[in-house]
């Protein structure tokens, strides 16, 4: 179990549901001040309310990660409220239309997926890095996917943009390696989330059949790994993509 100094503030983008919500709840239970961010402000507020009801500290804000100007205002408010933003976990992501061959992909849908899955992580990073550079400390974690390493048939836009996140993290990790800031990614296989539940059953079976453990990952397994990656204990790893794949990827 990672230890966190007090105070320690972590912002979780995508905290309304899925991996983001689970990570926010676990961090809140370990004494971290959690800033719950999501386009779904009611969902983010619900997560924050659960954290505070359990004795933790949390606030919620709406955010649109593809709107650079609007999110800049949100991050300024987060920093003002917290004094120091120690870490950011970006879980925002969409699959786009699935179960399509590459020649069937709608370019507009591809652009939609790209903006959230790849442009969004860049804009989030650009918004928080100046503050972290001033403090000589930061942890940035973007959620990629095993699809970004191996590709999933029928998911061209998703696979391509998650591969882009892995490349983004590799470059950014080296950019800030001497600043006290780490930038990493997490590549889950199939985790039991609402986003996975929305996929066609055939698509989920295709992905699960590739996992040697022959099961989906659980939300608490993702949350535990996230907590360690954004803790002070994870201090000598940057530009890296951690696998959470049940043995599907071992590289």
pLDDT by residue for the chain (251 residues), tens only, comes to 678 999 999 999 999 999 999 999 999 999 999 999 999 999 999 999 999 999 999 999 999 999 999 999 999 999 999 999 999 999 999 999 988 999 999 999 999 999 999 999 999 999 999 999 999 999 999 999 999 999 999 999 999 999 999 999 999 999 999 999 999 999 999 898 877 777 788 878 887 888 999 888 999 999 999 999 999 999 999 999 999 999 998 88
Please tell me the predicted confidence (pLDDT) of residue 87: 98
- Other Cβ atoms closer than 10 A to 48: 25
Cα–Cα dist 37/64, whole Å: 9
> For residue 7, is the peptide bond before it cis, meaning its omega torsion is within 30 degrees of 0?
yes
* Inter-residue contact 186 to 241 (CB < 8 Å): yes
Which letter does DSSP use for residue 218 in this model?
Answer: P
- Tokens 């804009």: give the residue: 123
Q: Does domain 9-241 have CATH number 1.10.10.10?
A: no
Please tell me the predicted confidence (pLDDT) of residue 1: 66
Please tell me the predicted confidence (pLDDT) of residue 199: 77
* Inter-residue contact 133 to 179 (CB < 8 Å): yes
The backbone torsions φ and ψ at residue 141, rounded to the nearest 5 degrees and listed phi first, read: -130, 120
Write the CB contacts of 107 (distance below 8 Å, at least 6 apart in sequence): none
Among the options 8, 114, 158, 176, which is catalytic? Answer: 158
Active site includes 114?
A: no
Cα–Cα dist 217/208, whole Å: 10
Alpha carbon dihedral 202, 203, 206, 212, in 10-degree steps, equals -120
Cα–Cα dist 39/62, whole Å: 5
How many H-runs (helices) and E-runs (strands) does the chain carry?
Answer: 10, 7
The backbone torsions φ and ψ at residue 118, rounded to the nearest 5 degrees and listed phi first, read: -125, -50
* Inter-residue contact 186 to 244 (CB < 8 Å): yes
- In terms of C-beta density within 10 A (0-12 exposed, 13-18 middle, 19 or more buried), how is residue 78 classed? buried
Please tell me the predicted confidence (pLDDT) of residue 25: 98
pTM: predicted TM-score of the whole model, two decimal places? 0.95
């Amino acid at each position: 179990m990672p230890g966190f100094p007090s105070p320690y503030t972590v912002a979780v983008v995508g905290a309304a549901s899925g991996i983001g919500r689970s990570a926010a709840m676990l961090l809140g239970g370990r004494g971290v001040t959690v800033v719950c961010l999501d386009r779904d402000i009611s969902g983010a507020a619900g997560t924050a309310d659960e954290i505070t009801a359990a004795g933790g500290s949390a606030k919620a804000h709406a955010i649109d990660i593809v709107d650079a100007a609007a999110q800049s205002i949100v991050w300024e408010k987060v920093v003002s409220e917290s004094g120091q933003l120690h870490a950011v976990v970006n879980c925002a992501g969409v699959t786009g239309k699935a179960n399509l061959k590459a020649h069937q992909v709608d370019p507009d849908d591809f652009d939609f997926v790209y903006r959230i899955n790849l442009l969004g992580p860049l804009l989030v990073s650009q918004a928080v890095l100046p503050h972290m550079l001033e403090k000589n400390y930061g942890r940035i974690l973007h959620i990629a996917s095993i699809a970004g390493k191996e590709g999933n048939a029928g998911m061209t836009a998703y696979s391509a943009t998650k591969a882009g996140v892995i490349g983004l993290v590799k470059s950014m990790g080296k950019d800030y390696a001497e600043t006290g800031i780490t930038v990493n990614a997490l590549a889950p296989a199939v985790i039991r989330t609402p986003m996975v539940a929305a996929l066609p059953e055939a698509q989920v079976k295709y992905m699960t059949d590739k996992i040697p453990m022959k099961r989906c990952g659980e939300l608490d397994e993702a949350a535990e790994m996230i907590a360690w990656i954004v803790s002070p204990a994870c201090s000598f790893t940057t530009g890296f993509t951690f696998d959470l794949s049940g043995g599907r990827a071992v590289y």
